[in-house]
């Protein structure tokens, strides 16, 4: 059964907004909702609770084991640097694991006393053992969907620097996946502005890849697709096909013959022909995606802006013991009805491979899409002053299950009408909405993740916090400001006063830093983007994230970007905001665990904590900081079990 996705509002952002294509949101959400329908029809009592956000499949999974001090160790690690991350310079010679937890750390001779006849002695061979990486903010389901397609991200994020590169990647994908003729082939992430030809690949370019497979490529913005001749024939698009309302079928010069590129609602002409994943296929997609997270050394991942269908897929995976690492889900505020909110309240403090975090607020869009809400105008104004809501990763999925009567959807403010000289983005929530959600969450002890890229959006959040909490700061709630890219010094002061936690997005410095300096923000503001050093100067805890699927999943590259602040052109951007390797690694281990209220169980290598660990090819605290991004993840260990091991 397929659910139609109603697209009434077009999104044609100025520049690349980095949205998640609604195509993939819909595919995953449909599969999860179909799972709900099937289980409801069966009357499966164990799954009835999955119909709401409230159910957690098995809270005991993976976290109820304890260390038996009178028994032998299951494994003892030695022979390389063991970095505990408890304090700078702290290393131990050996570490013992038992029942998925750390049994002991210390000198090798002392730890070897825990060796028994069945204990595995693991020689690191000079490699480094440290806590597994904790993802402070990403979108697991969407990144998993992206992993299931050919990666066409432009350089330096990916390898697609030309149409020839795109053709090579697609040919390799067909060969590697052994895709049979007539089966669909999908690529995701090409950027016409990021390749040599400065144009979209057309049907002729893709016919050179294959005429036997229908091929569709999704633009990095999610607002266009392009395909080959076989694709056009499969969906019935030809010279006589008229442009659908809200969409454009691009034509070859001098005639009506489609060139393969479909804009906006013209995408829907293809959507109905694509093979939709079954619930099991969607579950396998997510499971495989989490294996890739593990390959990056991540032992705890986050799915921020989780919808009901996706939650049900996660829940089913946990029921079947198929989550290789921990997942924390964050429902988006306008997908949360009263019943879902009550369930989130009831499940606070739960542990296991899957748990609910709190509520995700989204106050603005993206800097590179000109939709982040800034207090001052953008440095270089775009060619159009029309502002389009930058929420493509959520709005279409919402319509799959959020009732028409949900006020949260209707109360979102309209983008302001301003002259191009005044363009500074806009907020996606009203001030009243922000204040109401902060109060509601505070009253029930619920943690908030609030997306604010622009300092104007951050100001809205801070005003709400100051009004609701007045003279009574709530550092116990660990309210997290996601991205916080343009936080000013005065805003960091307020954050410090109230114990708020910024989670910075430093990979922006590398991928978009040159454009932030020259186009979006100008030299002065760009130099302060992701102000980690300024936060540390105020004794603020902060974390660092990659926001997958926007910029990959490498936590080491995230740390590298915060330490070095080098742009893709090799320029140093804002050296005053650089932090040390130890500070960066704390932000993706110990402090990331703290952000999630999991510091007693994760984040450092200490006795009694979960044996969530990663083995690295080099010690990131002793090599040249410029080499951090090139360190290889050799092994990832989740609760004592290897969930990834590098080949060779």
Tokens, residue 449: 């993740």
pLDDT confidence of residue 265 = 83
Average pLDDT over residues 533-552: 93
Query: What single-letter DSSP state applies at residue 625?
Result: G
Highest mean pLDDT among 121-125, 339-343, 367-371: 121-125
Residue 40 has pLDDT above 80, yes or no: no
* Gap between the Cα atoms of 302 and 350, Å rounded: 15
Residue 23 has pLDDT above 90, yes or no: no
**What residues are paired with 504 via a beta bridge?**
483, 544
**Residue 501 · residue 542 · CB < 8 Å:** yes
pLDDT confidence of residue 400 = 31
pLDDT confidence of residue 526 = 97
* Gap between the Cα atoms of 445 and 462, Å rounded: 18
CB atoms within 10 A of CB 550: 24
| HSE of 601, CA atoms in CB hemisphere, 13 A | 21
Q: Which of 160, 224, 249 minimizes the C-alpha distance to 13? A: 224
- What tens digit of pLDDT does each residue of 85-113 get? 999 999 999 999 999 999 999 999 999 99
Average pLDDT over residues 478-488: 97
Highest mean pLDDT among 38-47, 218-227, 584-593: 584-593
pLDDT confidence of residue 404 = 35
Residue 50 has pLDDT above 50, yes or no: no
Tokens, residue 567: 């742009």
pLDDT band with cut points at 50, 70 and 90 for residue 406: very low
Non-local CB neighbours of 178 within 8 Å, separated by 6+ positions: none
Q: Which of 76, 79, 122 minimizes the C-alpha distance to 103? A: 76
Residue 607 has pLDDT above 90, yes or no: yes
pLDDT confidence of residue 46 = 36
Residue 57 has pLDDT above 60, yes or no: no
- Ranking 59-63, 239-243, 389-393 by mean pLDDT, the lowest is 389-393
Residue 522 has pLDDT above 90, yes or no: yes
Residue 184 has pLDDT above 80, yes or no: yes
Tokens, residue 290: 């989490």
- What tens digit of pLDDT does each residue of 188-232 get? 888 887 789 989 999 999 999 999 999 999 887 666 899 999 999
**Residue 5 · residue 385 · CB < 8 Å:** no
Strands 224-227 and 215-219: antiparallel
Residue 252 has pLDDT above 60, yes or no: yes
pLDDT confidence of residue 14 = 33
Task: Tell which wins on pLDDT, 335 or 16.
Answer: 335
Predicted TM-score (pTM) of this structure: 0.85
CB atoms within 10 A of CB 175: 9
Q: Which of 220, 194, 144 minimizes the C-alpha distance to 548? A: 144
**First and final CA of the chain: distance in angstroms?**
44
Alpha helices in 8-149 (DSSP H): 22-42, 45-48, 108-111, 140-147
pLDDT confidence of residue 205 = 98
- What tens digit of pLDDT does each residue of 213-225 get? 999 998 876 668 9
Could you give the domains of the chain? 1-72+131-140+276-603+614-628 (3.20.20.140), 141-271 (3.10.310.70)
Angle at 225 between CA 220 and CA 231, to 5 degrees: 145
CB atoms within 10 A of CB 56: 25
Q: Which of 23, 389, 372 minimizes the C-alpha distance to 223? A: 23
Place of tokens 């975090």: 357
pLDDT band with cut points at 50, 70 and 90 for residue 369: confident
What burial letters (b/e) apply to 273-311, b meaning 16+ CB within 10 Å?
Answer: ebebbebeebbbbbbebbbbbbbbbbbbbbbbbbbbbbb
- What tens digit of pLDDT does each residue of 261-299 get? 998 788 889 977 888 888 898 999 999 999 999 999 999
């Amino acid at each position: 059964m397929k659910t139609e996705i109603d697209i009434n509002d077009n999104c044609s952002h100025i520049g690349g907004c980095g949205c998640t294509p609604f195509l993939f949101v819909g595919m995953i959400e449909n599969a999860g909702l179909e799972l709900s329908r099937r289980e409801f029809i069966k009357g499966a009592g164990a799954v009835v609770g999955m119909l709401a956000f409230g159910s957690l499949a098995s809270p005991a999974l993976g976290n109820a084991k304890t260390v038996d001090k009178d028994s032998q160790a299951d494994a003892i690690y030695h022979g390389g640097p063991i970095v505990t991350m408890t304090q700078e310079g702290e290393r131990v010679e050996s570490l013992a694991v038992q029942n998925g937890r750390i049994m002991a750390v210390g000198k090798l001779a002392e730890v070897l006393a825990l060796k028994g006849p069945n204990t595995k002695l693991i020689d690191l061979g000079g490699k480094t053992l440290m806590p597994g990486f904790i993802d402070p903010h990403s979108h697991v389901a969407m990144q998993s969907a992206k992993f299931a397609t050919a990666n066409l991200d432009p350089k330096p994020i990916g390898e697609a620097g030309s149409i020839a590169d795109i053709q090579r990647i697609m040919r390799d994908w067909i060969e590697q996946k052994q895709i049979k003729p007539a089966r669909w082939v999908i690529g995701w992430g090409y950027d016409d502005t990021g390749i040599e030809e400065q144009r979209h690949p057309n049907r002729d370019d893709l016919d050179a890849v294959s005429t036997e497979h229908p091929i569709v490529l999704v633009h990095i913005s999610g607002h266009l697709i392009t395909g080959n001749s076989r694709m056009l024939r499969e969906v019935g698009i030809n010279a006589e096909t008229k442009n659908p309302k809200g969409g454009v079928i691009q034509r070859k010069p001098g005639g009506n013959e489609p060139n393969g590129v479909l804009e906006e609602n013209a995408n829907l002409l293809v959507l109905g022909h694509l093979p939709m994943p079954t619930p099991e296929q969607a579950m396998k997609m997510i499971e495989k995606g989490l294996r890739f997270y593990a390959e990056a050394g991540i032992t705890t991942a986050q799915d921020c802006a989780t919808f009901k269908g996706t939650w049900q897929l996660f829940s089913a995976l946990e029921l079947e013991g198929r989550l290789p690492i921990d997942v924390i889900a964050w429902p988006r505020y306008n997908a949360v009805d009263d019943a879902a909110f009550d369930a989130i309240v009831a499940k606070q403090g739960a542990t296991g491979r899957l748990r609910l975090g709190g509520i995700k607020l989204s106050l603005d869009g993206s800097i590179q899409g000109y939709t982040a809400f800034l207090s001052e105008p953008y440095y270089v104004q775009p060619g159009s002053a029309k502002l389009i809501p930058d929420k493509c990763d959520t709005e279409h999925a919402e319509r799959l299950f959020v009732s028409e009567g949900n006020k949260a959807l209707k109360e979102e403010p309209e983008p302001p009408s301003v002259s191009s000289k005044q363009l500074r983005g806009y907020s996606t929530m009203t001030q009243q909405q922000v204040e109401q959600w902060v109060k509601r969450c505070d009253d029930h002890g619920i943690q908030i993740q609030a997306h604010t890229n622009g300092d104007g959006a951050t100001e809205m959040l801070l005003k709400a916090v100051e009004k609701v909490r007045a003279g009574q700061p709530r550092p116990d709630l660990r309210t997290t400001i996601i991205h916080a890219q343009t936080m000013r010094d005065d805003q960091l002061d307020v954050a410090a006063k109230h114990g708020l936690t910024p989670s910075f997005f430093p990979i922006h410095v590398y991928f978009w830093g040159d454009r932030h300096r020259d186009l979006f923000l100008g030299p002065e503001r760009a130099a302060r983007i992701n102000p980690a050093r300024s936060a540390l100067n105020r004794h603020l805890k902060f974390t660092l994230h990659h926001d997958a699927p926007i910029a990959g999943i490498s936590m080491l590259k995230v740390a590298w970007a915060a330490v070095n602040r080098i742009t893709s052109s090799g320029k140093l951007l804002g050296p005053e905001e650089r932090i040390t390797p130890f500070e960066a690694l704390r932000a993706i281990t110990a402090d990331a665990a703290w952000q999630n209220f999991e510091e007693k169980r994760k984040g450092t290598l200490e006795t009694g904590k979960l044996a969530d660990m990663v083995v690295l090819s080099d010690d990131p605290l002793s090599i040249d900081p410029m080499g951090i991004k090139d360190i290889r993840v050799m092994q990832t260990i989740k609760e004592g079990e290897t969930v990834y091991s590098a080949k060779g």
